[in-house]
A and B are shown apart, each in its own frame.
Chain A
Amino acid sequence: MRNVAGMIEAFSLGKVFPDRQRPVVAVDDVSFRCAPGEIYGLLGANGAGKTTTMRLLATMLRPTSGTAIVGGHDVVREPERARRCLGFLSTATALYARLTAFEMVQYFGRLHGLDDAAIAGRASDLFARLDMNEFRDRRCEKLSTGQKQKVSIARTLIHDPPVMIFDEPTNGLDVMSARTIVAFVRECRAAGKAVIYSTHIMSEADKLCDRIGIIHGGRLLAEGTAASLKSAHGGDLEDAFVALVDAA
């Protein structure tokens, strides 16, 4: 098993949720690899196991079988170290309403072990890049959706992680806010980060991801570039997706 910093590797990941009637298999024997400077898309319908896979990689959930290496750290044996190497963003990761934009970013900087001088320097750069200085000291509860997204981005980047995990980050966002996120994901790739991006939007996966894994019923059905998936199954990405799911 290789331990490469800045890389994500899943090895036969599995997650079964206990249930009174019968256990629910949310993720079943999922393996993939995402290299630095690459966007790996996890494409699946609602309930396919995308969020559970993302939570397993972000160490919020513990796998019932298999493991994953995030930034060179095993998610089962070294969950805290793995979290130090990653930035996690989803529509479910809300902000603390009563903290200001800067306090929110500062809090996560401190949790990542940065000292206040380092946080100030890094935050100043991020706030300028994301055009956030206007609402730097405004409480998060008073920010617009787009401004909140920017704060979330700054929060995930404050410790400059080599690995980024995005779990359906554009869900429920308007076009402009979604574009900010997509642009940011591309920036991460350009900066040499390994990016995992889960979505159920075909066009988004097609445009953004270098390689795509199609997930259904907790299992990874196929993997490849958008072009290779399309040519293997004919038609566009949606046709390829439907063909794979129907065959499963």
Chain B
Amino acid sequence: MSPVFTIYRKELKDILRDRRTIISMLVVPMVVMPIIMLLFGGVSAKLVQSALEQVPEIMLLGGEDSPKIRAALASDRGLKLIPVAPDYAARISNKTLRAAVELPRDFDERIGEANATVPTKIYYYQGELRSGFAAEAIEKCLRDYRDKVLTDRLANRGLPADFARPLNTVRQNVAPPEKVGGNFIGTILPYIVILLCLTGALYPAFDLTAGEKERGTMETILSSPASRTQLVLGKFFVVLTASILTALCSLLSMTTIYLISRGLFGLALKGKMSLGTFTVAPGSVLAVLVLLLPLAVLFSALLLAVGTFARSFKEAQSYAGPLILMAILPAAAALLPGVDMSPKLAFIPILNLSLVSKEIFTGAFPWGYIALVFASTCLYAAFALWLAARMFNRESVLFRT
């Protein structure tokens, strides 16, 4: 049996017997994360839905001399007028009142004039969802009223209703549903999977290096005939296994939870994997997973190098924060509008994978970029592995306690 496999088998057994590994590798991605996502998604959807369904209470300020507009606002089913109070602004700030609309004096009379433009003002709480909905409902009511007045003015002059509408713009989606869904999934999915690859590797990498130093087993294993390179490879393959398993478990659980939440069990289309209202070709998923492999190698080797460098598990953990941030930033940069794949960006690790995944999920396969991303990530991964092996061969690092 090869020493690398012997080390791999032992280290895997060792970390799988550790409750903390089981929690970080299986329980968190397969149970905790989906529950949080489901709860958060469910609660926020419910809140938005209830805010939309609730008829907002608003105040009408002024307009006592304008019965027509008052009647239009009062009869709107999307609005509920309540008696006016002088502290309307404070009430909006305290969220006890959704919004208020102010009409100028002689509104009806002035709007009846042929060329008049009458100002109105809406008071609301910017950034507050329900207040925003109320302001939109008031605007819609006033817009309908304005259109009716305009039509009357045109009719009085013997002009057709379309006279004041020389341009009529309609939006038409030409992207197939696959691409629409792919764009959404391609943006969000790589971000999640990249993060999970990293977090899945984090704990085992530190446990097998800094943890080993701390527990005093480093000297024990160094007295065995296994070479330092064999030791680092055995450990590396365990970390890589943990990283890939965590990412796959998370993907599996997220897809399952998503399908359950959408009630779409049994709706998988022929030759396609259904993800709610979106459909993603299995080929795209496979291609992205293949591209993720060198990135998982990069993360695993890098974390192993950092863990070996650290004196203790605690010190290794202090490096975890900046490392996660270094992975999040390029992954998040791909979510920004206008950031698209280019020859330069194809060499930036993590960002390049996020960008090319976006393309792949929309059904496009830019083979040149795919090859560039794969090759450059492999190169970085090889460097990280070399670094980890080098760390493991440095006496000053290995016996640093």
Binding site for B on A (CB under 8 A): 17-18, 58, 60-62, 79-81, 83-84, 86-88, 90, 92-99, 103, 107-108, 110-113, 155
Contacts and interface: CB of A to CB of B under 8 A. Distances in A.
Interface string B194-230: 0000000000000000000001110110111111000
Given A107-B6, A107-B10, A111-B3, A60 B219 contact: yes
Contacts of B17: 98
Nearest to A113: B225
B10 A83 contact: no
A60 B14 CA distance: 23
B220 A80 contact: no
B326 to A, nearest CB: 28
Contact of B216 (A58, A92, A112): A92
Contacts of A112: 224-225
A94 B220 contact: yes
A203 to B, nearest CB: 26
A86 B10 CA distance: 22
B87 interface: no
13 contacts: A18-B396, A60-B222, A83-B224, A87-B223, A88-B223, A93-B216, A93-B223, A96-B14, A99-B13, A103-B13, A107-B10, A111-B225, A155-B220
B395 A58 contact: no
A211 to B, nearest CB: 24
Interface string B270-284: 000000000000000
B216 A83 contact: no
Nearest to B224: A111
Interface string B231-242: 000000000000
* Max count, chain B CB within 10 A of own CB: residue among A94, A95, A111: A111
Given A107-B6, A110-B6, A113-B225, A62 B216 contact: no
Contacts of B226: 80, 111
B130 to A, nearest CB: 54
A90 B223 CA distance: 11
Interface of B: 1, 3, 6-7, 10, 13-14, 17-18, 215-217, 219-220, 222-227, 395-396, 399
Q: Which 8 residue pairs spanning A and B have beta carbons closest together?
A: A94-B216, A88-B223, A93-B220, A98-B17, A111-B224, A83-B225, A84-B225, A110-B6
Contacts of B216: 92-94
Contact of B1 (A18, A87, A110): A110
Contacts of A58: 222-223
A90 B219 CA distance: 9
Nearest to A88: B223
Nearest to B216: A94
B10 A80 contact: no
A113 to B, nearest CB: 7
Contacts of A86: 223
Contacts of B222: 58, 60
Contacts of B10: 96, 99, 103, 107
Contacts of A155: 220
Contacts of B3: 111
A62 B217 contact: no
A97 B225 contact: no
A80 B14 contact: no
A92 B10 CA distance: 20
Nearest to A60: B222
A84 B3 CA distance: 13
Contacts of B223: 58, 60, 83, 86-88, 93
Given A93-B220, A94-B216, A111-B6, A99 B225 contact: no
B225 A94 contact: no
Given A110-B6, A111-B3, A99 B219 contact: no
Given A60-B223, A87-B223, A94-B220, 8 more contacts: A62-B395, A86-B223, A94-B219, A95-B220, A99-B10, A99-B14, A107-B10, A111-B6
A61 B395 contact: yes
A239 B140 CA distance: 103
Contacts of B18: 98
B395 A80 contact: no
Given A83-B225, A111-B226, A97 B220 contact: no
A57 to B, nearest CB: 11
B217 to A, nearest CB: 5
Contacts of B399: 60-61
Contact of B224 (A18, A99, A108): A108
A93 B226 CA distance: 16
A188 B175 CA distance: 79
A38 B346 CA distance: 65
Contacts of B225: 80-81, 83-84, 111-113
A59 to B, nearest CB: 8
Nearest to B220: A93
A97 B215 CA distance: 9
Contacts of A113: 225
Nearest to A106: B10
Contacts of A60: 219, 222-223, 395, 399
A97 B7 CA distance: 16
Contacts of A94: 215-217, 219-220
A108 B224 CA distance: 7
Given A62-B395, A93-B220, A97-B215, A80 B227 contact: yes
Nearest to A58: B223
A17 B392 CA distance: 17
B305 to A, nearest CB: 20
A67 B222 CA distance: 19
A111 B225 CA distance: 7
A108 to B, nearest CB: 6
A97 B396 CA distance: 26
Nearest to B231: A111
